[in-house]
Amino acid sequence: MEKTPLNTAKGTDKTINKVQHRPGDLPGQKPSPAEQNRRPILEIKKLNKTFETFKAVDDVDLTLYEGEIFALLGSSGCGKSTLLRMLAGFEKPSSGSILLDGKEIIGVPPYKRPVNMMFQSYALFPYMTVKQNIAFGLKQDKIPKAELEERVEKMLKLVHMENYVDRKPYQLSGGQKQRVALARSLAKEPRVLLLDEPMGALDKKLREQMRLELVDIINAVGVTCLMVTHDQEEAMTMADRIAIMDRGEFIQIGGPREIYENPNCRFCAEFIGSVNIFDCTLLSSNKQHSLIKANDFNNNIELEHDIDLADGMPLTIAIRPEKIYISKEDPQQDTNICEGVVENIAYLGDISIYYVRLLSGRLISATLPNVDRFKQGLPTWDDKVYLSWDPESCIALTI
């Protein structure tokens, strides 16, 4: 049995979570660029940014590899935008270094950095046509006219805007504006593309469609991409790796699946997706077996691996709602089970969320696909139900 990597304490060790991917281990997980021995392109070392007394970015280390899409995920005010703006050159770091292709770029003005940004509001020049907007960056480099025309043409084709060359931005829809903004930021073939809340200005439907389109375009160009978002779905669909940021620090860095399945702390578990958190005490732990007492129900939680903690110590167990089985019949097991009463059911179309009140008074959520729910015999309001789960569904967290 493998050992679930338990978190190294966040406060004591700032170089958080050395990602250890096992290719093929997690189905659906793309091998990370780090594994493919790709060259690091951007290295951020001990980067700090302090606004007066407020630490916006706190001692951040990050390495970006050639060709990957990396997402900085966090709620507003966590410092992700400040970090992005430091890379673009709009903010000056308080200390630390940013190496692009091994060369220090702090102090290099934004107009000399081989980095381009797609702005949240797109920042298209309103008095220029689509074509002029895309050509703007190339014109600054004094590229010969023939080559410029050719490259602009290529960009227009890439984002499927060939039929809109002479339109002004106000004549475009939100999605079209975004494509132009993307083309403009890609036209100069930047070493790193920065995306600031790329879907922030789009409505929900268009957002979902543009995510994949954007990834396709970025992959077609092969540019390394650093995006900032507060939308976890967006980060998970688009990015190869995600860094969860809080109060200027990276809490966890990893692939979408790893971050969801193996959050390294309570904050990450609660931040990504929804989760039931139980305060527990470790009863015993050996190589293949850990027994845990939860405060909210009588039966114990059993894990099939050890936990690096002394017996009797408190810990947290997190269980995702979709990994909880819900049934009216007693599944006849001694561990990983609790009982309660269905208090509420939320119908979301594809799934239903059951809110089950435990005897202790705790409310637990468990989801059920609606394919199953409307079969006969499944629990409904006020039914007494048993909630159970597999040992591997539990995430043991020490902080």
Partner 1 sequence: MSMGFSANMSFIRRAFRKSKPKVISVSTHQNTWRDYALILVPYLWMILFFLLPFLIIFKISLSVTQIAIPPYSPIVTFEEGAMQIILHLENYTNIFTDPEGTYWRSYLKSIEVAFFSTFFCLIIGYPLAWALATSKPAIRNVVFMLIIMPSWTSFVVRIYAWMTIMKKDGLINDLLIHFGIIDSPITMLQTDFAVYVGIVYCYLPYMVLPLFSALMKVDYSLIEAAYDLGCKPVKTFFTTLVPQTKSGIVAGSMLVFIPALGEYVIPELLGGKGSILIGRVLWQEFFNNRDWPLASAVAITMLLILTIPIIWFYKIERKEQEGAYGK
Contacting residues toward partner 1, per CB under 8 A: 88-90, 109-112, 115-117, 119, 121, 123-127, 136-137, 140-141, 168, 170-171, 184-185, 188
Nearer to partner 1, 143 or 368 (CB): 143
Nearer to partner 1, 169 or 263 (CB): 169
* H or E element in which residue 140 lies: helix 130-140
In one-letter notation, the amino acid at residue 9 is: A
Q: Could you write out the DSSP letters of every residue in 157-226?
A: HHTT-GGGTT--GGGS-HHHHHHHHHHHHHTT--SEEEEESTTTTS-HHHHHHHHHHHHHHHHHHT-EEE
Nearer to partner 1, 17 or 185 (CB): 185
DSSP 8-class letter at 313: -
Q: How far is the CB of 88 from partner 1 (least distance, A)?
A: 6
Q: How far is the CB of 156 from partner 1 (least distance, A)?
A: 17
Q: Which residue has the tokens 């993307």?
A: 182
Q: How far is the CB of 108 from partner 1 (least distance, A)?
A: 12
Nearer to partner 1, 119 or 297 (CB): 119
Nearer to partner 1, 136 or 267 (CB): 136
Q: How far is the CB of 255 from partner 1 (least distance, A)?
A: 29
In whole angstroms, what is the distance from residue 112 CA to residue 383 CA?
66
With beta carbons less than 8 A apart as the criterion, state whether 321 and 353 touch: yes
In one-letter notation, the amino acid at residue 188 is: K
Nearer to partner 1, 141 or 334 (CB): 141
Q: Is 271 helix (H, G, I), strand (E, B) or coil?
A: helix
In whole angstroms, what is the distance from residue 193 CA to residue 332 CA?
55
In whole angstroms, what is the distance from residue 16 CA to residue 271 CA?
17
Give the CA distances from residue 178 to residues 43, 182, 260, 285, 391, in Å, rounded to whole numbers and listed in that order. Answer: 28, 6, 29, 53, 45
Provide the terminal-to-terminal Cα distance of the chain, rounded to the nearest Å. 23
Q: How far is the CB of 66 from partner 1 (least distance, A)?
A: 21
Q: How far is the CB of 274 from partner 1 (least distance, A)?
A: 35
Nearer to partner 1, 88 or 341 (CB): 88
Nearer to partner 1, 223 or 251 (CB): 223
Q: How many CA atoms lie within 13 A of 2 on its CB side?
A: 6
Nearer to partner 1, 36 or 140 (CB): 140
In whole angstroms, what is the distance from residue 367 CA to residue 345 CA?
9
Tell me whether strands 301-303 and 337-347 are parallel, antiparallel or unpaired.
unpaired
Nearer to partner 1, 151 or 184 (CB): 184
Q: How far is the CB of 127 from partner 1 (least distance, A)?
A: 4
In whole angstroms, what is the distance from residue 374 CA to residue 291 CA?
35
Q: How far is the CB of 126 from partner 1 (least distance, A)?
A: 4
Q: How far is the CB of 214 from partner 1 (least distance, A)?
A: 18
Q: How many CA atoms lie within 13 A of 184 on its CB side?
A: 28
Q: How far is the CB of 9 from partner 1 (least distance, A)?
A: 39
